[in-house]
Amino acid sequence: MAEAAAESAKTKPGWRTLLRSLRSPKSGFMVLFGFAQGLPPALFLGTLYAWLSQAEVDLETMGVFSLVGLAYAFQFLWSPLLDKVDIPGVRKLGKRKQWIAPMQLIIGAALVVMSQLDPASALAWFSLLAAIGAFASATQDIAINAWRIDVADEVATLDILSTLTQMGFRLASLVGGAIGLILADRHGWPFVYVMFGGFILAIGIAGLFAPDARVSDDTAATAAANHDEVAELYNVGEVTQKVRNRALLAVGLLWTWAIGTVVVFMVRSMTATPENRPDVTEFTTTFGPLIVLATIVLPAFIAAWVVKQKRDGVNVIQATGGAEATYRVKATDHLYRALVLPLVEFVTRMGWSLMLVLALVLTYRITDSVWGVFAYPFYLGELGFTGEDVAFASKILGIFAILIGLALGGWLITVFGRMFMLTFGAIIAAATNLLYANLAQGGAAMQAASDAVGFTWLVNTMANWLAPLFFVAAPPSEGLARLSFTIFWENLAIGIAGAAYIAWLSSIVAKKYAAVQFALLASLTLLIGTLGRGALGQMIEERGYYYVFVFTALIGVVAVVLCALEWLREARAGSHSGVVAPDPHAVAAE
């Protein structure tokens, strides 16, 4: 009886499960890694522009710096390397840490060196270091996402680790953004970048002690292991080399075009005169979807063709004799294993359900991503708030709301289960657009609700306390409370939905191909939002913000329906496989 009671206490959902997960060293390392993921984008893409502005760098030149954002947008293009390539000399650190540690060293070094430069007189070196740092940052993101999937277990669950990485990321955004600006005013930009560079280097040192899948430092052993993996391609029932080569050729041409397009654009942008420089936003909006189509969507259809050949017994290896038995490892075998096999595995495992998964990935974040670029025009132009008002509401209260939402979402996952929270997150994320619809009409309901729950008093108290930091140019606006109230609840919903979404996204990829599959799916997440922004801008001009917010709330219903269908699919998949579908109150075990 005592053992049964102990086991029951061990698996009971709620705070006990959460605390048990948080006691795992993996959870602590996950927060550190999440912080390391969130800090570089804030410094290379956000805070950096404030430094450049103070150095009186012209806007045209600053536009070139936005190119570093392409490293994050298209990081999946080099993700196959991280799954299949070991780095000599550091491979003993582990399969993922061999990439994480060097990238953090590069990021930290780039920040420290940048701190010693004057952006006005050493702009070329400044831009080069920013590009190198952003590339290293995007690469570490791929490795950290794969590390999280690899190390998750029944104690440090994938759900909790996914929540913690988001919390670390958001906390870093606050530190690198608002706090970075405050410190720069008091101590100067060199101090800020040296300090943050030191943070990254310290995390890199601490991360050396994180657990990871081991990788042999024996070159011969590594070669033998790779040879054994390739040997699986020549087993009876696998597709013939002719089929593999055709698939590889098609996928290779698509990826070559995609990578070439990005490289040509970057070269043109860095070498052209300001008046002839291509527009980054136009490139991302026009070519971004085409690149995703060429590297994800079309290769998925090619992978489906390979799977069909295999299932139909057409063009497959029928016997162990002949040429297939006397194979030798070729470069094309390794390329096929890196580029095509991750998608083949995905299609084989998911079947037609992959269409549902892709549809959900494309639409889950649509309600906040599609109008996000119009947020500041809405706050500043339409509603008339000051920059100080928006900074206080979005950078302080908004970030804390997301952190609270992530913590709450992580706990609720242990109570209600991942799929329940994924669906619930889609519902509340869509519903918060109605709060903005009221704000667009004057915000009377938002003001009344803020007054009723004491939020107005809290905002006024915080605004007065932080006035020397945020309201130097002008006092807080009269409607600051209703703006803060709306942003707070939207960000709280984003935090809850984000915790469930990252956990679900991490759960559907295979550990063997985690780096590639997660990077590919993550790149699709904001695609529809990117495609829809042009039409949404026109809709705002013609009908106004109120209509747009109601419309985005309604299209959020699509994601809710898809979540319900995915929930049903996972339940049926567990039942049909002979495994009892997981209790929504059970701990998620990966």
What local confidence, expressed as pLDDT, does residue 314 receive?
A: 81
Q: Is the pLDDT of residue 239 over 50?
A: yes
What local confidence, expressed as pLDDT, does residue 221 receive?
A: 58
What tokens does 145 get?
A: 């996402």
pLDDT band at 467 (very low <50, low <70, confident <90, very high): confident
What local confidence, expressed as pLDDT, does residue 580 receive?
A: 36
Q: Is the pLDDT of residue 396 over 80?
A: yes
Mean local confidence (pLDDT), 181-193: 85
Q: Is the pLDDT of residue 117 over 70?
A: yes
- In angstroms, the Cα distances linking 20 to 23, 26, 34 are 5, 12, 20
Phi and psi torsions of 328, nearest 5°: -135, 145
What tokens does 544 get?
A: 């106004």
17-26, 489-498, 554-563: the lowest-pLDDT one:
17-26
Tens digit of each residue's pLDDT (9 = 90 or more) over 574-586: 655 443 334 333 3
Q: Is the pLDDT of residue 308 over 60?
A: yes
Q: Is the pLDDT of residue 18 over 70?
A: no
- In angstroms, the Cα distances linking 543 to 441, 535, 539 are 13, 12, 6
Phi and psi torsions of 320, nearest 5°: -85, -5
Q: Is the pLDDT of residue 138 over 70?
A: yes
pLDDT band at 270 (very low <50, low <70, confident <90, very high): low
Which of 431, 485, 419, 439 is CA-nearest to residue 458?
Answer: 485
Return the DSSP state at 323: G
Mean local confidence (pLDDT), 156-164: 88
What local confidence, expressed as pLDDT, does residue 63 receive?
A: 61
What local confidence, expressed as pLDDT, does residue 330 receive?
A: 72
What local confidence, expressed as pLDDT, does residue 581 receive?
A: 37
What tokens does 484 get?
A: 């803060």
Mean local confidence (pLDDT), 402-409: 91
pLDDT band at 121 (very low <50, low <70, confident <90, very high): confident
Mean local confidence (pLDDT), 130-148: 92
Q: What DSSP assignment string belongs to 211-277?
A: --------HHHHHHHHHHHHHGGGSTTSBPHHHHHHHHHHHHHHHHHHHHHHHHHHHHHHHS-GGGP
Which of 40, 21, 224 is CA-nearest to residue 132?
Answer: 40
Mean local confidence (pLDDT), 463-468: 82
Tens digit of each residue's pLDDT (9 = 90 or more) over 378-395: 888 888 888 788 888 888
What local confidence, expressed as pLDDT, does residue 584 receive?
A: 34
Any alpha helices (H) in 272-297, and if so which ranges? Answer: 280-292
pLDDT band at 306 (very low <50, low <70, confident <90, very high): very high
**Helix orientation angle between 158-174 and 480-507, rounded to the nearest 10 degrees:** 140
What local confidence, expressed as pLDDT, does residue 322 receive?
A: 45
Say what percent of the chain tops pLDDT 90: 33
Q: Which stretch of DSSP H or E encloses residue 83? A: helix 79-84
pTM of the entire predicted model: 0.81
Return the DSSP state at 337: I
What distance in Å separates the CA atoms of residue 524 and residue 362, rounded to the nearest whole number? 6
Mean local confidence (pLDDT), 190-211: 92
Average pLDDT, the chain: 82
Mean local confidence (pLDDT), 196-213: 91
Q: Is the pLDDT of residue 70 over 60?
A: yes
